[in-house]
Structure 1
Amino acid sequence: MIKEFCAENFTLVPYAIKAGAKRIELCDNLSQGGTTPSKGVIQKTLQFSRDNNVKVMVMIRPRGGDFTYNLDDAEIMLNDITTCQELGVDGVVFGATRQGFIDAGLMEQLIQKSNGMEVVYHMAFDQIEPSKQFLAVDWLAEQGVTRILTHGGPTKEPIEDHIAHLKRLISYAANRLTIMPGGGLSYKTLPNLLSQLPVQEVHGTKIIDLKLDNSF
């Protein structure tokens, strides 16, 4: 089981890894749903995580708000991916939508720029019209995307309300890419979710029982 800890900065990374996190998603501004962290934060997190054999995924998102990006946003995202390439990041996390579906043009550019790194389509997936989500899985799998992070439905609703849809997505994706549940999960609710979903990877800010002692 891979527990991916969503870290807003470096502060909690050592505690999360000590408590069993096997992968870190690094971002900033969680109150806005996560944006791209600074180069310094990425460097420090990479250094510590590599020493502990833990992968680091970096959020590529230039701002809060929606996931429909203009040319300026796209330029920023491409430049941030280049920075991640130069630093040796394991993977990048991004998503772009347009008119209720994937923004294929921008996504193709971002994926091409990410060559050599894992690519994760984040919870922008939940903004895609449900009737189009299976087509989105097809498209992302064809593009070589590694994982889709999804709540299975509106994030304001408990993830337990979306078990049925998550099951459908997991079955449909088969072995082409990984469907990774996230959003509202915690180490306390995880056993119930795992009893209902055939998943080996989960994501969240509370997915690990952090022990905030003074050992670091």
Structure 2
Amino acid sequence: MLKEVALENFTDLPATLAAGVHRVELNDNLAVGGTTVSKGVMAEATAYAHDHDASVVAMIRPRGGDFVYHDLELKIMEADLFEAQAQGVDAVAFGVLTASGALDEDAMENLIAAAGGMTVVMHMAFDAIPDSAQPAAIDWLAAHGVSRILTHGGPLSQPIAETLPHLQELVAAAAGKLEILPGGGITAANAAPIAEQLGVPAVHGTHLL
């Protein structure tokens, strides 16, 4: 089981990798769910991680709040994707929705193209898509080269024990298409049984150590 640890900037990266973690999600402002770090943080964290046989997922999110972005915010995200690519980042996490809670397919296509071959992760914006529309969203994301979906299986206000049944449905819907990466409320204590119950190869969290 791979543990992907969400970190805020560079501060805890050395200790996290020293503890045996091999993939980190790099954020600023974890208090609002994570936003994009500075160029300097991205560059130094990626170089350090690669020197220690670890990979970096960079959050690409211009602000907290919802996932409905106007044109200038999308331009910022595109520029940040180009920067992540230039710094050798391994993967990028983003998500754009319409006001009705559907995937913003035009925006997503443009951002996936801007990712330029980096692994693309749909982040927890996925959880704001209505449950009934999520299987179709999985199919669209898989068809457009997205490798995995970071999801809590429901609102973060719900304990993960309550969202496990829906996470199991998502894992089944995604089988053979892309990876479901469960996160939100996963800790060092419950990570292994959750991964085993869901049959997933990796989990995500801030308290996995």
| Coarse TM-score class (shorter-chain normalised) | over 0.9
Question: For the residues of structure 1 that align with 2:160 and 2:22, how far apart are their CA atoms?
Answer: 22
1:107 maps to which residue?
Answer: 108
Kindly state the Cα deviation for residue 121 of structure 1 after the two structures are TM-superposed.
0.2
1:127 maps to which residue?
Answer: 128
Question: For the residues of structure 1 that align with 2:203 and 2:10, how far apart are their CA atoms?
Answer: 20
Q: Does the aligned pair in 1 maintain the 2:32–2:64 contact within 8 Å?
A: yes
Question: For the residues of structure 2 that align with 1:105 and 1:194, how far apart are their CA atoms?
Answer: 33
Question: For the residues of structure 2 that align with 1:9 and 1:109, how far apart are their CA atoms?
Answer: 26
1:41 maps to which residue?
Answer: 41
1:157 maps to which residue?
Answer: 158
Kindly state the Cα deviation for residue 194 of structure 1 after the two structures are TM-superposed.
2.6
> Counterpart of 1:102 in 2: which secondary structure?
coil
TM-superposition CA deviations, 1:11-66 (whole Å, max 9, x none): 11111111121101001001111000001111111111111111101000001110
Kindly state the Cα deviation for residue 163 of structure 1 after the two structures are TM-superposed.
1.0
Kindly state the Cα deviation for residue 191 of structure 1 after the two structures are TM-superposed.
2.8
The one-letter code of the counterpart of 1:128 is I
2:23 maps to which residue?
Answer: 23
Question: For the residues of structure 1 that align with 2:145 and 2:27, how far apart are their CA atoms?
Answer: 23
RMSD over aligned Cα atoms: 0.9
Aligned residues: 208
1:179 maps to which residue?
Answer: 180
Question: For the residues of structure 2 that align with 1:206 and 1:18, how far apart are their CA atoms?
Answer: 15
Unaligned runs of 5+ in 2: none
2:190 maps to which residue?
Answer: 189
Kindly state the Cα deviation for residue 2 of structure 1 after the two structures are TM-superposed.
1.2
**Structure 1 residues 191 and 91 mapped into 2: Cα distance closer, same or farther (>3 Å)?**
closer
TM-score normalised by structure 2 residue count: 0.97
1:214 maps to which residue?
Answer: none
1:213 maps to which residue?
Answer: none
Question: For the residues of structure 2 that align with 1:84 and 1:167, how far apart are their CA atoms?
Answer: 32
Question: For the residues of structure 2 that align with 1:175 and 1:21, how far apart are their CA atoms?
Answer: 26
> Counterpart of 2:199 in 1: which secondary structure?
coil
> Counterpart of 1:40 in 2: which secondary structure?
helix
Q: Does the aligned pair in 1 maintain the 2:61–2:77 contact within 8 Å?
A: yes
The one-letter code of the counterpart of 2:73 is D
Question: For the residues of structure 1 that align with 2:161 and 2:121, how far apart are their CA atoms?
Answer: 23
Q: Does the aligned pair in 2 maintain the 1:3–1:20 contact within 8 Å?
A: no
Following TM superposition, where does structure 1 have runs of at least 4 consecutive aligned residues deviating by more than 3 angstroms? none
